[in-house]
């Protein structure tokens, strides 16, 4: 019996309460031919840390009858259907350079605190508060000011900039990092 994608989704929901996440079948071994589903791929958020992926992989891997690993898949759309193939086991996250988000500006820790001081000095309390909240979220992350910094959005406001992601797209394919679940022998 093939793995039930819905069962894997429900099992994942027990341990990962940060929707949205997706589950879908891996249905190709060669990247060009469809086959019956080989396993289920769990795609968490694109900025989910490798630690969270590893922790969830380990928890799901303790489920009797399941074998789990962290993989990279390649997806291409053929006749309205996605062809999903595992291409790498134990991959590294994709690195995003600050230049990729131009015209927005990525602020280092020192730059963010300097802008915060300038905003407070000039009496721009509401914008200063938004920046302070973003600085605090970065500072409380699992690797503060290394994998994450503050991004000043061109239209105003601030958000977290993630240097490492679990998704990238090219002209002909989409690539994702996530958890691959197979039946164990």
Q: What is the pLDDT of residue 139?
A: 94
90 and 30 part of one domain: yes
β partners of residue 43: 22
* Rounded Cα distance, 137 and 151, in Å: 12
| Residue numbers of the domain that contains 155 | 97-162
- Dig out the tokens for 4 from the structure: 């039930």
Query: How do residues 74-127 score in pLDDT, each as one tens digit?
Result: 999 999 999 999 999 999 999 998 888 888 899 999 999 999 999 999 999 899
* Interacting residues of 52 by C-beta distance below 8 A, sequence separation 6+: 16, 44
124 and 74 part of one domain: no
pTM score of the predicted model: 0.86
Q: In sequence order, what DSSP letters do the residues of 67-130 get, joined into one string?
A: EEEEEEEEEEEETTEEEEEEEEESPPPEE--GGGGTTSEEE-HHHHHHHHHHHHHTT-HHHHHH
79 and 13 part of one domain: yes
How many structural domains is the chain composed of? Answer: 2
pLDDT averaged over the chain? 93
Would you place residue 54 in the very low, low, confident or very high pLDDT band (cuts 50, 70, 90)?
very high
138 and 179 part of one domain: no
74 and 87 part of one domain: yes
């Amino acid at each position: 019996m093939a793995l039930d994608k819905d069962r894997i989704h429900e099992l994942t929901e027990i341990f990962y309460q940060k929707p949205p996440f997706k589950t879908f079948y891996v249905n190709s071994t060669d990247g060009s031919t469809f086959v019956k589903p080989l396993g289920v791929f769990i795609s968490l958020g694109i900025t989910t840390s490798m630690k969270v992926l590893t922790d969830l992989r380990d928890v799901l891997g303790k489920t009797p009858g399941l074998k789990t690993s962290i993989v990279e898949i390649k997806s291409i759309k053929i006749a309205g259907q996605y062809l999903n193939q595992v291409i790498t086991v134990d991959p590294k996250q994709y690195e995003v350079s600050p230049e990729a988000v131009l015209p927005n500006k990525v602020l280092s820790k020192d730059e963010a605190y300097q802008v915060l001081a300038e905003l407070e000095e000039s009496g721009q309390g509401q914008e200063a508060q938004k920046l302070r909240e973003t600085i605090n979220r970065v500072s409380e992350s699992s690797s503060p000011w290394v994998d994450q910094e503050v991004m000043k959005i061109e239209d105003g406001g601030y958000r977290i900039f993630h240097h490492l992601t679990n998704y990238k797209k090219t002209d002909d394919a989409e690539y994702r990092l996530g958890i691959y679940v197979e039946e164990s022998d």
